Amino acid sequence: MASSSQLSISFDNLTTLIDTIIQQDHKLIYLAGASASGKSYIGEELVKQLTESGKKVLLISSDSYYSNESQMKYLLYGTFDHPKLINYDILQQDIMTYFQTGKFQLPVYSFSEKRTTHHITINEAYDIIIIEGLYTINSLPTSFSVHDNDITAYNVLVRAPIEEIIFRRLIRDQARVKEPLNMLINIMSNVFPMWKIFGATQEEYAHCLITNNYTILEKEGRHSQWEKVKKDSLPEGEPYTTYYTTDYIYNDSDEGNGKIIISELYRDPHGLLDHVILQKRSSDPREEQDNYESISMSLYTPGISTEIHTLLQLAGLNYEGSYTKIIYQYSKPNDDKMIIYKEKFGQLYQLISPNKK
């Protein structure tokens, strides 16, 4: 467990962490954090700043160690976020091998082929190795002995507000051409529950906590296609404060190419994700003008909808006046897709509420 001298810093000021790593001569860093917390970006920043300080750094993602049986294990566990899908034993052995011999074989995992396609020989001398991943602090040994020398990992945890993580995941997964409704269901029913069970406890073992609470708009050079738009008027009685807009390319195998437009995103004064409207624009050349379908994803308080309340509890969203319902609404009320989406969501209800009649 980390001592009471736990370092706490902001994501945009890593100087104190860099100084600590150099002054204490840490050779191994475990960098953990929830999905979309920003750990990969911070890992890259650490490499950059440590390199500028004269250190040679190797950054390894635990994703490289996905099991070749990950598809089978996915069927068993129902999610790719379960730690059993990562070969932490092999990762641990590779770390030890490097510190003992100065070289090891780094696997290259293909997510499209769902297997390790080849290995890269790592045989250069590095001053520091950073292992980045969801569960690195909990899943790898705190220390081990090499040539009668103890190597102790320095644990760094990146944390971010849940509402920001939801937003980032929605944006990132849309960029990867994923279905908005399925994305939200996956985030709520798989991503957050797995983190709550296997990842959240890492905070008490972290030597350094990095709070990464920026919005996508605030990070220059990251998602630069986003722009902040001032909304002239908001509906009466709705205390929304922020509005975002952007376009994303969206590929629909049934309808050809199109675009997903996140046309509105409001956040209430407490910083909670409150309302998202997504529009899908058809690019059918036979149409004289673009056709729009709207999907409204709304979270309201303070009433109670058992199914959604359960879903959000599983995701760890236990705010006061809990969110109570999510609405998916199409501008074409008779569209078949509306029925398909409702059926998919209904199946999720049955999954999380097996006793529901």
Pick the residue with more confidence: 145 or 158? 158
Same domain, 18 and 151: yes
The total number of structural domains that make up the chain: 2
Tell me, yes or no, whether 203 lies in a domain. no
pLDDT one-digit tens code per residue, 255-313: 333 333 333 333 333 333 333 333 333 344 444 433 434 433 333 333 333 444 454 45
Q: Who contacts 123 (Cβ-Cβ below 8 Å, separation ≥6)? A: 102, 103
Tell me, yes or no, whether 207 lies in a domain. no
Closest CA to 314 of 215, 213, 192: 192
Residue that is last in its domain, among 115, 143, 159: 159
Q: Is 66 exposed, middle or buried (0-12, 13-18, 19+ CB in 10 A)?
A: buried
Same domain, 49 and 125: yes
Q: What is the DSSP letter of 153?
A: P
Residue that is last in its domain, among 159, 176, 204: 159
Q: Who contacts 197 (Cβ-Cβ below 8 Å, separation ≥6)? A: none
- Of the pLDDT bands very low, low, confident and very high (cuts 50, 70, 90), residue 193 is confident
Same domain, 263 and 124: no
Tell me, yes or no, whether 181 lies in a domain. no
Domain carrying residue 291: 225-349
Same domain, 101 and 24: yes
Same domain, 17 and 136: yes
